[in-house]
């Protein structure tokens, strides 16, 4: 749609619509309406609908379905139903794609019972739920933790000739993993292979995270190796889940090796991954290793990690480790977050570590003083 806007911000598509040399047909209008809907510009999409009617063109089922989908994604269900009634009055029957647009919109809002009413309305008109219909409902049931309902739909889906794809399987597998039912998730995973479906990155990551959640990091490592062998590249989320699981079982050297491996692959570990691993090394009194882990990060990541670690270590009453990270931050001339400083000082007072509190306060005060002096020199 950006190509349809000129420098003055006036939609160039209007010039096409008004042009006397070129008259858009129904398909062209439908495509343009779809573009506006994707951008959430529903008023402009409605304007085009009105303009095409003015030009004597009758919107068809695809046109209405496109606009209905846009309104459902925007949460305007009243307007979506109005458009559905309007298309019926004009002799265009909604198809399963029209109903799927509404079912999907309702499920995104968590209104699954309303979604079922729409499905029943579709079936009463002789339409049959397709793979998309089933997948939408299965996904919402899994989100709400209703795995038995999801499984019933999953089985019914296959019985009705709508064979689930790897996306549907992954949804069920992830739900089982969330509920720590790893035996069931493993069965489904193996079934995917048996019927020729190729597990995706999300499939493998769900399995890895599930095994880590139940304290089976060895099984998670096997799944990780299997993932790599099959040419499915893990991302930072996959690595993070595995590192977290290894940390819970105090397998720190293996966790650190994975951490270094992801950095070598230019993957960025999230805050939780960085803090979890460093914190566990601090708990094992291997603070120097925890400090060295920050060296390969950029300045912003180092500062964020140090702040989070200081707060977590202070809450755990590991003030010696917390003070080392604070000193490290100050030595590198990074700014100490106010909440981090407050958390550390409060913990010092609560533990009667007044000398340590005084030492860090003095260092921070000196840092601020030096900063102001440098600032004054620059101005002068």
pLDDT (tens digit per residue) in 97-106:
999 999 999 9
Q: Which of 212-226, 259-273, 333-347 has the lowest mean pLDDT?
A: 333-347
Range of the domain at 21: 1-128
Q: Which of 87-91, 133-137, 300-304, 362-366 has the highest mean pLDDT?
A: 133-137
- Residue showing tokens 């100050």: 330
Task: Give how many domains the chain has, as a whole number.
Answer: 2
Instruction: Tell me how far apart the alpha carbons of residues 360 and 358 are, in angstroms, rounded to a whole number.
Output: 6
Question: What is the reported pLDDT for 366?
Answer: 76
* 34 lies in the same domain as 113: yes
| Residue 364 lies inside a defined structural domain of this protein | no
* CATH at 73: 1.25.40.10
pLDDT at 2: 39
- 79 falls in which pLDDT band (50, 70, 90)? very high
Residue 160 lies in a domain: yes
The residues, ordered by sequence, that sit 6+ positions from 76 with a Cβ below 8 Å of its Cβ are 42
The CB density around residue 292, as the number of other CB atoms within 10 Å, is: 12
Average of pLDDT values for 271-299? Answer: 90
CA distance 295 to 314: 22
Residue 211 has pLDDT above 90, yes or no: yes
Least confident segment among 30-44, 54-68, 364-378: 364-378
Q: From the centroid of its chain, how far is CA 66?
A: 25
The answer to whether position 17 is within a domain reads yes
What is the rounded distance in angstroms from the CA atom of residue 17 to the CA atom of residue 29? 9
Q: Token pair for residue 101?
A: 């647009």
Alpha carbon dihedral 115, 119, 120, 125, in 10-degree steps, equals 140
User: Contact, 37 vs 70, CB < 8 A?
Assistant: yes
Residue 83 in any domain: the answer is yes
* Average pLDDT taken over every residue of the chain: 88
Tokens found for residue 273: 């991954």
Count of residues making up the chain: 380
159 and 107 inside one domain: no
pLDDT score recorded for residue 8: 34
178 in any annotated domain: yes
The token pair that represents 23 in the structure block:
């008259």
The pLDDT score that the predictor gives to residue 325 is 85
Residue 275 lies in a domain: no
Tokens linked to 206: 């769900």
pLDDT digits (tens, 9 = 90+) for 294-331: 888 888 888 888 889 999 999 999 999 999 888 887 78
| pTM for the full predicted model | 0.80
User: Which is more confidently placed, 177 or 2?
Assistant: 177
SS (H, E, C) the chain: CHHHECCCCCEHHHHHHHCCCCCCCHHHHHHHHHHHHHCCCHHHHHHHHHHHHHCCCCCCHHHHHHHHHHHHHCCCHHHHHHHHHHHHHCCCCCCHHHHHHHHHHHHHCCCHHHHHHHHHHHHHCCCCCCHHHHHHHHHHHHHCCCHHHHHHHHHHHHHCCCCCCHHHHHHHHHHHHHCCCHHHHHHHHHHHHHCCCCCCHHHHHHHHHHHHHCCCHHHHHHHHHHHHHCCCCCCHHHHHHHHHHHHHCCCHHHHHHHHHHHHHCCCCCCHHHHHHHHHHHHHCCCHHHHHHCCCCCCHHHHHHHHHHHHHHHHHCCCHHHHHHHHHHHHHCCCCCCHHHHHHHHHHHHHCCCHHHHHHHHHHHHHHHHHHHHHHHHHHC
Q: Which residue has the higher pLDDT, 24 or 201?
A: 201
Q: Is residue 58 in a domain? A: yes
Residues 3 and 123 occupy one common structural domain: yes
Same domain, 124 and 26: yes
Long-range contacts of 3-7 (CB under 8 A, 24+ apart): 4/32, 4/35
Give burial (CB, 10 Å; 0-12/13-18/19+) of 377.
exposed
């Amino acid at each position: 749609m950006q190509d349809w806007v000129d420098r003055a911000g006036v939609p160039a598509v209007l010039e096409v619509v008004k042009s006397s040399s070129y008259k858009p047909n129904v398909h062209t209008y439908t495509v343009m309406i779809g573009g506006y809907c994707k951008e959430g510009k529903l008023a402009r999409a409605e304007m085009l609908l009105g303009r095409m009617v003015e030009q004597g063109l009758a919107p068809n089922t695809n046109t209405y379905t496109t606009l209905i989908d846009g309104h459902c994604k925007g949460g305007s269900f009243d307007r979506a139903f109005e458009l559905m009634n309007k298309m019926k009055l004009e002799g265009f029957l909604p198809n399963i794609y029209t109903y799927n647009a509404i079912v999907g919109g309702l499920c995104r809002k968590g209104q699954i019972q309303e979604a079922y009413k729409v499905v029943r309305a579709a079936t009463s008109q002789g339409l049959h739920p397709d793979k998309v219909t089933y997948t939408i409902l299965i996904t919402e049931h899994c989100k709400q933790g209703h795995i038995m309902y999801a499984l019933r739909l999953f089985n019914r889906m296959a019985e009705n000739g709508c064979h689930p794809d790897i996306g549907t399987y992954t949804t069920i597998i992830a739900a089982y993993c969330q509920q720590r039912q790893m035996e069931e998730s493993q069965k489904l995973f193996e079934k995917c292979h048996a019927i020729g479906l190729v597990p995706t990155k999300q499939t493998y990551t769900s399995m890895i995270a599930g095994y880590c959640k139940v304290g089976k990091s060895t099984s998670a490592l096997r799944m990780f190796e299997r993932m790599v062998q099959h040419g499915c590249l893990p991302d930072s989320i996959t690595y993070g889940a595995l590192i977290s699981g290894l940390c819970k079982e105090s397998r720190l050297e293996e966790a650190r090796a994975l951490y270094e491996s992801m950095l070598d692959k230019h993957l960025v570990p999230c805050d939780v991954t960085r803090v979890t691993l460093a914190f566990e090394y601090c708990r094992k009194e291997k603070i120097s290793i925890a400090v060295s882990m920050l060296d390969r990060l950029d300045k912003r990541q180092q500062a964020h990690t140090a702040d989070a670690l200081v707060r977590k270590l202070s809450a755990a009453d590991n003030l010696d480790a917390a003070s080392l990270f604070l000193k490290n931050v100050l030595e590198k001339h990074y700014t100490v977050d106010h909440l981090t400083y407050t958390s550390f000082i409060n913990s010092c007072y609560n533990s009667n570590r007044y000398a340590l509190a005084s030492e860090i306060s003095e260092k921070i005060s000196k840092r601020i003083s030096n900063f102001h002096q440098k600032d004054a020199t620059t101005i002068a």
